[in-house]
A and B are shown apart, each in its own frame.
Chain A
Amino acid sequence: MADEAGRTGRAGPPEKTRMMEPPVGPDSEAFWEATREGQLLVQWCTACDEGLFYPRAFCPSCGTAAAVGEGLEWRRASGRATVHSFTIEHNPAATGATFSGGQPYVVALVDLEEGVRMLTNVVGCAPDDVRVGLDVTVTWEPLSDGRQLPQFMPASS
């Protein structure tokens, strides 16, 4: 179960290991630091007033380049999103993923309310209950260094 901030409430290192923990990229330190507090940030271009994902020092929509001092900022996302597409992995052994306990799991593309699309897992429901268009909300999977991985679960649950 997750609390209001979307935290899973598990203490200490995750019992379940996943295939790979994400490195911190050159433009995403703020993103990962915020996950420690259960906050989902989206990078925002102040010039074209659009969100962008994945984090960059450059806005691919309008060419604003933080690298030369122009305006890209971080905004807190609502955590609400919609499933754009998904797949159920029926052969977990083939990916080496153990976080689903060897059971089929869902990999999905979700569209955040802020207008960006990210890859994620939809958890907290039976894989067969996931649909295109399903409303989901962020939930957090603890990583070994205190960061948390954003995943999503049905908004109604």
Chain B
Amino acid sequence: LRGAAAIVGVADDVSPTGELERTGRALEVAMVLAALDDAGLTLGEVDGVCHAESSMAFAEYLGIHPTFTDSTMTGGSSYEVHLEHAAAAIASGVCDVVISVYASTPRSDRTQKRKMERRFPPGPNPMAEWEWPYAMRMPMGPYALAATRHMHEFGTTSEQLAQIAVSTRQWAELNPRARYQTPITVDDVLASPLQTSPLHLLDCCLVTDGAGAFVMTSAERARTLKKPPVYVLGASTCHDHMMISQMPDLTTTPGAVSGHKAMAMAGLKPSDVDVLMGYDSFTITALLHLEDLGFCAKGEGGPFAEDGKLGPGGSLPMNTNGGGLSFTHPGMYGMFLITEAVRQLRGESGPRQVADAQVAVAHGSGMVLSCMSTAVLGTEATL
């Protein structure tokens, strides 16, 4: 798979107000057209569609007849999984131009009092029987359980977790589109109300509107398009539970599998990574990624993060857009890991641009630490 396919167009829409004017299909279509325009492609050239709800319904709405279709829904990591599947489909000749799109407007749905349809996984649902009666707060509860266990096993502290929120906010200060751009301190995080212990309010991601899309094609075709291609060097997905009681080890995510496989496919090691986009639904989520992807040893995520190396000017720039903690989080944030990774590798990230970024990792996390999907992306120089 290495180097066979590339991301050639991206688009996203967020606002510091946390709310967008457009919603639903109109927002999705706008994202697709903007991403295609970014690539210099047209809708008529699209023959593959990914959508985490229904690629069929979305393709019908667009009036296109794709030969590759993917409705994979793994929660927040869905878009990294789409990327992986699209790369494989393109590499094997199944299709040529694939789009993936996401739009969700939970914040304005609430303020505008729009009716929300609540969707749960289809089929038998053991959660209703074995989890919901215990009133575990979702989605915080499972992450809080992981954090408590991590603290117990490794001595990780709330201060260390808070530093991740602080470093991420420092990136958001450089992003005029971020929801929150004012500096915070470790003390601010610890002083924010405890939600689901040990997680404080500022350990938790935002609830905002947001939308995005990306376009992929073959490496060969990518070189003929508008923007510098961002190549897929490695990709892998692994899930090991749906319910938190079924997670084999609360302190090791399936990212230890997907990350290792994706990096091996890319032929790279953690020290080769210039930008890490690691899904930060909560501070503990990001900390687990650091360990499972091999940036530090298991249990050492706290000490690793506490010197601020994840922030601007640090040795491991992480979540340079401001992340789910400070930039945007509409529910399934994985799309924004990809749009930011692509912009960093193109050198389009303005004040927050990481100098000479050649390799970026977009590491998505879905459901409750359930499904991890790792995409290793690189510039032409990395091929």
Listed in ascending order, the chain A residues whose CB lies under 8 Å from chain B are 18-26, 28, 53-54, 84-92, 94-97, 99, 105, 107-109, 117-121, 132-133, 149, 151
Knowing that A85-B146, A107-B137 touch, tell me 8 more A-B residue pairs with CB under 8 angstroms.
Answer: A22-B130, A25-B124, A84-B149, A95-B137, A96-B135, A97-B135, A119-B130, A119-B131
Complex Cα spacing A121 to B145, Å: 12
Known: A19-B135, A90-B196, A107-B141. A84 touches B250 (CB 8 A): yes
Are A107 and B135 interface neighbours, CB within 8 A?
Answer: yes
Shortest beta-carbon contacts, A-B, top 10: A97-B135, A87-B144, A85-B149, A88-B197, A132-B152, A85-B145, A107-B136, A90-B194, A22-B129, A20-B132
Known A-B contacts A87-B196, A89-B141, A90-B196; A22 and B148 likewise in contact (beta carbons under 8 Å): no
Residue in chain A with minimal CB distance to B145: A85
Mask of B184-208 contacts with A, CB within 8 angstroms, 1/0: 0000000001111111000000000
Given contacts A84-B250, A109-B244, A119-B244, is CB(A89)–CB(B129) below 8 Å? Answer: no
Measured in the bound complex, the distance between the Cα atoms of B136 and A54 in whole Å is 17
Q: From residue 148 to 183 of chain B, which have CB atoms closer than 8 A to chain A? A: 148-149, 152
Taken together as a complex, chains A and B put the C-alpha atoms of A75 and B362 apart, in Å, by 46
Q: Mark B362-376, 1 if CB is under 8 A from A, else 0.
A: 000000000000000
Contact of A24 among B129, B149, B198, B250 (CB under 8 A): B129
The closest CB in chain A to the CB of B126 belongs to A54
Given A119-B244, A119-B245, are A88 and B133 neighbors across the interface (CB < 8 Å)?
no
Taking CB as reference atom, which chain B residue is nearest A151?
B134
Partner pick for B129 among A25, A94, A109, A151, CB 8 A cutoff: A25
- In B190-246, the 8 Å CB interface with A consists of 193-199, 243-246
B196 & A99 in contact (Cβ 8 Å cutoff): no
19 CB < 8 A contacts A-B? A19-B133, A22-B132, A25-B124, A53-B245, A54-B243, A85-B145, A87-B141, A87-B196, A87-B199, A88-B194, A88-B197, A94-B137, A94-B195, A107-B137, A117-B245, A119-B131, A120-B134, A132-B149, A149-B133
Residues of A within 8 A of B135 (CB): 18-19, 89, 92, 95-97, 99, 105, 107, 121
Q: Which listed residue (A18, A25, A117) contacts B133, Cβ 8 A? A: A18
0 or 1 for each of B113-130: is its CB under 8 Å from A? (1 = yes): 000000000001010111
Please name the residue on chain A nearest to B250 by beta carbon.
A85
